[in-house]
Amino acid sequence: MLPQFSLHRVAQTLQKDPYFGYLLVLPLVVWTLLTIVYPFLDALRLSVFNVGYVGTAGRFVGLANYSKVLTSWEFWHTTEVTVWWTVLNVGLQVVGGLVAALVLNQEFWGHEFARTWIILPWLFPSIVLATIAKWMLDPTLGVVNYLLLHAGVVKAPISFLGTPGWAFLSATIVNAWHWFPLFALMILAALQTIPKEVSDAAEVDGANYWGRLWYVELPCIAQVLYVIIFISSLWAANIFDVIWLLTRGGPGDATNTFPILIYYKGFQEFRISEAAAISIPLFVLLLLYGVWYMRRYMQQEIEEPAA
C-alpha cells in the first residue's frame, strides 16, 4: 500500500530542524537569486554584446566595450571625480557626525529633543533636499548669496550650481548634510555605552578634554567608526539622486560620478552595453575595496544561538 499523503505529515517534517530553517530563508534566497544574481550575470552578458536600445538584439563583440571604455578619458575622469566625491563625503559625514555626537552627548536642558530630531535632514527625501538646496543657493533668490553679499564677503552673487568647483562643493555639502545626522546618532549611541567611571577616572588622572577624547573616547568607539566609514563610503559611491537633481553631472562633467555616467550612457545615449561595461569595473573596484576593508577593520561574525 502506498503511504498516505498527508499535509499534516509534510508540515511536521518541515518543522523539524534543519528543514524549518531552510524553509524560512528560502523566499529571500529565491528573491535574491532573481533580482541580484540573475541581473548580475545578465550585466556580464550585455557587456560583451553591442546592445544599444533596450530590447534590441546585439551582436557578440567580445571585450570591445571594455577596451573602448577603459581607454576613454571619460572613464578615468569619472573615476577621479568619484574618488574625490567619496573621500570628501566620508570625511565631512564622519567628522560632522562625530562633532555633533560629542556636542549632543553633553548634559543640557532639552537633550532628549535634540538627540532625536538631529535626524531631521536624513528624513528628507532627496527631492526635498534638492529643492531646499536649489532654493537656498539660487544666484538671485537664494538666501546664501543674500547673506554673503550683505556681510560683504562677496561682491557679486556666486552661481553655486553653475560653476564647476562650486557645484562639486555644493553637491558634496548638501549630500553630507543629508547623511551626517544618521552617523551622529550611531556615534552618540556608542558614546553612551562608555561607562562614566572610565571617563571620570581619566579626568581625575589629570587628562583634559582633548586627552580624554583621544585616549579614552575615540578608542572606545573605534569599532563603530570603522563600520560607519565603511557604510558611508559605499553609500557615497552609489549616490545618484542629489547629484542628478542638482547638477546632472555638470557643469561640464565636474560632478560626473559613476552612477551618473552609467545612467547617462544607458538611458540618455542608449548605449546599454557600454553602460554595462562601465558598471562591471566599478563593481570589481567596490568588491576589492569591500573585501580589503572588512578584512582589515571589521570582524563581523554571526554568533551561534545557544540552542
Partner 1 sequence: MTAVKVTARYLSVFAVLAVVLLPAYWVVVNSVKTLPELVSPTPTFWPHTFTWSNYVNLFNQIPFVTYFRNSIYVAFAVTAITLALSGLAAYSLYRCRYRGRDLLFKVFMSSYIFPRVLLLIPLYVVFTRLRIIDTLTALVIVYVTTIAPFSIWMLHAFFTEVPLELEDAAMVDGASRFQVLLRIFLPLSATGLAALGLYAFLMSWTEYFFALTFIISDPHKTLPLGMAQFLQEYSIDWGLLMSSSVIIAIPPIILFAIAGRWFIKGLTAGAIK
148-207 binders of partner 1 (CB under 8 A): 177, 181-182, 185-186, 189-190, 193
Q: Which of 2/89 has CB closer to partner 1?
A: 89
Closest distance between partner 1 and the C-beta of residue 34, in Å?
9
Q: Which of 127/154 has CB closer to partner 1?
A: 127
Q: Which of 76/135 has CB closer to partner 1?
A: 135
Residues of span 11-40 touching partner 1 by CB under 8 A: 11-12, 15, 17-18, 20-25, 27-29, 31-32, 35-36, 38-40
| Cβ atoms of residues 68 and 289 within 8 Å | no
Closest distance between partner 1 and the C-beta of residue 164, in Å?
19
Closest distance between partner 1 and the C-beta of residue 81, in Å?
15
Q: Which of 2/210 has CB closer to partner 1?
A: 210
Closest distance between partner 1 and the C-beta of residue 253, in Å?
17
Grouping H, G, I as helix, E, B as strand and the rest as coil, residue 60 is: strand
Residues of span 219-278 touching partner 1 by CB under 8 A: 223-224, 227-228, 234, 237-238, 240-241, 244-245, 258-259, 262-263, 266-267, 272, 275-276
Q: Which of 48, 92, 94, 130 binds partner 1 (CB under 8 A)?
A: 130
> In the chain, which ranges are continuous DSSP H helix?
7-15, 19-32, 38-47, 64-70, 73-104, 111-117, 120-123, 126-137, 143-150, 164-191, 196-204, 209-212, 218-237, 241-246, 258-267, 272-297
Q: Which of 10, 95, 99, 201 binds partner 1 (CB under 8 A)?
A: 99
| Cβ atoms of residues 236 and 85 within 8 Å | yes
Q: Which of 61, 132, 148, 169 binds partner 1 (CB under 8 A)?
A: 132
Q: Which of 71/299 has CB closer to partner 1?
A: 299
Q: Under rule CB under 8 A, how many of the chain's residues touch partner 1?
A: 98
Rounded to 5°, the CA angle 169-170-172 comes to 65
Amino acid found at 207:
A
Closest distance between partner 1 and the C-beta of residue 197, in Å?
18
Candidates 8-16, 86-94, 159-167, 196-204 — which segment interacts with partner 1 by CB under 8 A? 8-16
Residues 284 and 68: their CA atoms lie apart, in Å, by 18
DSSP class of residue 304? P
Contacts of 11 (CB under 8 A, 6+ apart): none
- CA distances from residue 104 to 62, 165, 185, 225, 228 in whole angstroms, order as listed: 56, 33, 9, 17, 18
- CA distances from residue 145 to 33, 89, 139, 142, 157 in whole angstroms, order as listed: 50, 23, 6, 6, 6
Exposure string over 182-191, b if 16+ CB within 10 A, otherwise e: bbbbbbbebb
Place of cell 552673487: 157
Closest distance between partner 1 and the C-beta of residue 300, in Å?
8
Q: Which of 63/284 has CB closer to partner 1?
A: 284
Q: Is there binding between residue 280 and partner 1 (CB under 8 A)? A: yes
